[in-house]
Structure 1
Amino acid sequence: MKALFRNPTFSKLFFATFASQLGTVVGNMAFAYYLVDRYSEKPSLATTAELMYSLPTLALFWMVGVIADRFDRKRIAAYSDWIRAGLTLLLLLFVHYDFLLPCFLVLFLRSSISKFFGPAEMGLLQGSIDQDQYIQASGLNQMITGVFMLFGMSLGAASYHFIGIEGAIVVDGLSFLLSGLLLSLGEFPEHARTPNGKNRIRELRFSVILKDFWHGLQYIAGNRLLLVLISGFLFFGIVNGVFAVLPIFAMKYKLSPDQYVVHSSLITVFLGIGFLVGTVLGPHLIRRFTRAPILVAGLFISSLLIGGLGWAERVEVYFVLVLVAGVAIAPINIALGSWMPELVPPQNMGRVNALIEPVMMLGHSLALGGIALAFPAWISVTWLHYILAICTVGVSFFYLTALPPLVRKNMARATDEPTTAKEEIF
């Protein structure tokens, strides 16, 4: 890990990503508290704000990866931050004058621009570090996720409470400016910035975007190991969708009806602590046992713990099981996050990475739709946990069956390629 931070390019990219996520988390959470506080008689406004964050994923996923693969990734990531900073200034103006409809429009635009950051950042990361550092880098990214999971809601609440919505929006904008500045100062290799060569914006046509997007789909379909791994993200979207409401439902309708607000927020804290612990352990476990066994074992252990959450009759037991579940889930994410850069060549990284979020969003939407239809008429809180546990163990056995032969085939192909290359030389 020390070797990573001795790399000034990685350090700037890491802190730029942290600052960008900080701005997003503080601003979004503070705005949610603002809506609930100022428009308490209209709870639908908070839901509308959430839609402004999620809808751009479905609207833009087909083009953000193409843009990241065709143009300078450093500029894409930096301009993503700077444009969001400018939009944040508009948001500050509209909040000050209480223009709510333009606020939602700005939130939609900010979220849309943010979708270009992830694929570009992943491509820059892939080209700026050695292959044997992917696991450590993925672990550090998971640590950021754990920190914001642990403190994100608290940061938003504290910002809104102490400096108000306008102060929180200012912090939001400054974070984006800092992230963009760090990216602009980073000396990224040319092959990381423009792996497909330099292109001009005027050369980009709708037909070209569709062709590149289709090429990305064909690449994924032609790589069985990559296809199996990405199909798992549909399940992770389902897990995220269920867990978006499950802690509140478990406390409200089963374990703590009178104090469900406090206890449901504490679940996030315990899950975040588990994520941080799992993030520290994950790289060591992956180096010792390799990725496929960690994925299978982590999913199987998680299924047992999720089933245990449904069985729990005390709040304290639920907290402990959530913490241990966080420890088990973090290495899964690290294994997946570090595997992608090894399987995908730099020239296709943007398109492949851009397809992961819509797959997860599909699972997220299916889960929330199913819960909305079935709970509580046909499914109880306990059975929500049990069904999720059954799905998790199902994916564990799917990976157990599919991954080992694909991994062996992939390793054999990697071994044969250098041999073939040498034969061609001689």
Structure 2
Amino acid sequence: MSQTFSVFKNRTFTKIFLAAITSRLGTIVGMTAFTFYLLDRFSDQPIYATVTEMMYSAPTLLVFFLTGVVADRMDRQKVAYYSDFICGVLSFGLIVAIWVDWMPLVFLALFLRSAVAKFFAPAEMSLIQGILTEEDYSTAAGLNQMVAGFFNLFATGLGLGAYWLFGVQGAIVGDAITFFISAWLIRTCIINTEARLPNGPHTFKDLHYSSIFADFKEGLIYIVKHKLLMVIIAGFFIIGIVNGGFSVMPIYILKYKLVPETYETWSVIVGIVFGVFMITGSILSAMLAKKLKLYTCLSLGLIVSGCFLFMSGLATTPIIFIIITAFVALTIPLANIAIGGWLPSIVDRKMMGRVESWITPVMMISHTTTLGIISVGFPTFFSITTLFYVCGGILILVGIGYMLILPKLNNQYDRSVKHHNEQTKAIEAPSHT
């Protein structure tokens, strides 16, 4: 545990870490409050809640080719700062849209804010890669999982509490404040030029169509040539299906199957239990990740959590659902920490933004498609139980596939790195004689 938190001795990492927390808080609490607002106002039309989730994920498909290029070519610190600041401003635009009470305008405001927010993660992840050593990557991934647990613990309760106390507009004002705090934290960081501008200084004039396309293509070629990286990113497409479904499934199973009259209260309880067990799972997974191969952690995490997710669809009471969901939360961090600690160690620092920009849209394509299918098909063509079966089964299949493929690819990667290092030493050797 002391080794885990020693990374906070790096003050720059601490500020970026806190900025990531407040930026994420600025999205989750308001979105949660807004979802409850829609479920209250349009109780017989769950499509509105699903469309809200789509407005959060769909913008990725329009800006993903820009986010990575911007993170790799522009000042990463400024990209993260302006992303947060503009999101804070757009939060007030969302409040105006809700006050006008015209749903197309509300969804447009959500769409724009989400599009701008997508620039934060590639810049933030690239900055962290530049300020930490390779030994700290798994530690940072474990901390991110603990934060995810805290959000699952408090986000639903905070969002619902803010909605009850201040209304949906008051909750979104809170969003704006947290975005501005995050922007301030990023701005006050002192980060060396190599971490901010690993590819040298550029201006917006350099980001013309041909250069953007060239950089975007270069990122794709880098991934395709890197077989291990390509297989991991391909798996994100399948995982995106699960993320899309799970973003609405817990609320839907409570509202439309288990406890229709008291689903709000039970949603808070589910969030608290999920958060507690995710934090616990993050701590245990961080320990296991130091003793097991990362590909073993990834495969086991997906298979075991997939089994429990599949079983969640069998729940007949909220208590049973919560117990099974707790085991999902306990086991999924093992896979997430493995991925989070693995990617920065195998991706060139100069390419991190462009690689990250491919991961997000790959997930969001399947995420958004899943939400679209749910919005059209639920509850007319399939039940909430079916959704749990499908999502759980997908995780299991991906985990088994990774168990068969990743060890071989990892060994090939290790051999190529060793060969490259030997060649580099051979080339440099004469200069020291």
Q: CA deviation at 1:91?
A: 3.6
**Residue number in structure 2 paired with 1:353:** 356
Return 117-126 or 249-258, whichever deviates more: 249-258
Q: CA deviation at 1:415?
A: 2.2
Q: Find the aligned partners of 2:118 and 2:82 in 1 and give their Cα distance.
A: 12
Q: Find the aligned partners of 1:169 and 1:369 in 2 and give their Cα distance.
A: 25
Q: CA deviation at 1:308?
A: 2.8
User: Contact between 2:50 and 2:371, CA under 8 Å: does it hold in 1?
Assistant: no
CA displacement, residues 78-127 of structure 1 (integer Å, 9 cap, x when unaligned): 01111122223334455556566544433222111111111000100100
Q: CA deviation at 1:372?
A: 5.9
**Residue number in structure 1 paired with 2:167:** 164
In the superposition, relative to structure 1, how do residues 135 and 268 fare at CA in structure 2: closer, same or farther (>3 Å)?
Answer: same
Q: CA deviation at 1:134?
A: 0.4
Q: CA deviation at 1:167?
A: 3.1
What SS is found at the alignment partner of 2:200?
coil
In the superposition, relative to structure 1, how do residues 193 and 317 fare at CA in structure 2: closer, same or farther (>3 Å)?
Answer: same
- Equivalent runs, 1:3-18 vs 2, <5 Å: 3-18=6-21
In the superposition, relative to structure 1, how do residues 47 and 286 fare at CA in structure 2: closer, same or farther (>3 Å)?
Answer: closer
CA displacement, residues 259-318 of structure 1 (integer Å, 9 cap, x when unaligned): 555445533332222211111111110111121111112222223323332444443332
Unaligned runs of 5+ in 2: none
From 202, 205, 228, give the equivalent of 1:202: 205
**Residue 297 in 1 paired to residue 303 in 2?**
no
Return 247-256 or 316-325, whichever deviates more: 247-256
**Residue 362 in 1 paired to residue 347 in 2?**
no
Q: Find the aligned partners of 1:257 and 1:103 in 2 and give their Cα distance.
A: 27
Q: Find the aligned partners of 1:214 and 1:43 in 2 and give their Cα distance.
A: 39
In the superposition, relative to structure 1, how do residues 207 and 126 fare at CA in structure 2: closer, same or farther (>3 Å)?
Answer: same
**Residue 238 in 1 paired to residue 237 in 2?**
no
Aligned residues: 426
In the superposition, relative to structure 1, how do residues 378 and 43 fare at CA in structure 2: closer, same or farther (>3 Å)?
Answer: closer
Q: Find the aligned partners of 2:134 and 2:44 in 1 and give their Cα distance.
A: 53
Q: CA deviation at 1:193?
A: 0.5
What SS is found at the alignment partner of 2:199?
coil
In the superposition, relative to structure 1, how do residues 371 and 34 fare at CA in structure 2: closer, same or farther (>3 Å)?
Answer: closer
Q: TM-score, normalised by structure 1?
A: 0.91
In the superposition, relative to structure 1, how do residues 211 and 403 fare at CA in structure 2: closer, same or farther (>3 Å)?
Answer: same
Q: CA deviation at 1:381?
A: 4.8
**Residue number in structure 2 paired with 1:30:** 33
Q: Find the aligned partners of 1:242 and 1:52 in 2 and give their Cα distance.
A: 15
What SS is found at the alignment partner of 1:410?
helix
Aligned AA for 1:12? K
Return 149-158 or 321-330, whichever deviates more: 149-158
CA displacement, residues 1-28 of structure 1 (integer Å, 9 cap, x when unaligned): 2321110100110111111111112222
**Residue 323 in 1 paired to residue 350 in 2?**
no
Unaligned runs of 5+ in 1: none
Return 390-399 or 213-222, whichever deviates more: 390-399
Q: Find the aligned partners of 2:42 and 2:383 in 1 and give their Cα distance.
A: 31
Return 93-102 or 106-115, whichever deviates more: 93-102
Report percent identity of matched pairs.
39
Q: TM-score, normalised by structure 2?
A: 0.90
**Residue number in structure 1 paired with 2:415:** 412
